[in-house]
Amino acid sequence: MANHKATKKDTRQSLKRRDRNRYYGKTTRNAMRNLLKITEKEAAQGELPKVISMIDKLAKRNVIHKNKASNLKSKLARKIGTLA
């Protein structure tokens, strides 16, 4: 265990950040899963901007890499584009 005050504080902060990042990541993954379950194209296109915004926020907060965010957005857009 850490002995310095600053190190103890850093440990507390990193635990808080970890919980927050896990929450945002899990919420975004659930939103992506729900988006992929939608079978109507109009409904899916209505939801897509919300999910893309969530992914962009993850990349902005450095929870995921910006290239991964780009790949996820592309994959979702392609999937929704193929809906009839």
| pLDDT computed for residue 2 by the predictor | 75
DSSP string for residues in 42-81: HHHHHHHHHHHHHHHHHHHTTSS-HHHHHHHHHHHHHHHH
Stated pTM of the model: 0.87
Contact 30, 36 (CB under 8 A): no
CATH number at residue 50: 1.20.58.110
Contact 39, 83 (CB under 8 A): yes
Q: Mean pLDDT per segment of 10 residues, for the chain of length 84 residues?
A: 89 96 97 96 95 97 97 96 88
Q: Is 40 helix (H, G, I), strand (E, B) or coil?
A: coil
Q: What domain range includes position 60?
A: 5-81
Q: How many domains is the chain built from?
A: 1
| pLDDT computed for residue 25 by the predictor | 96
| pLDDT computed for residue 3 by the predictor | 87
| pLDDT computed for residue 84 by the predictor | 74
Angle (nearest 5°) at CA 43 between 39 and 45: 100
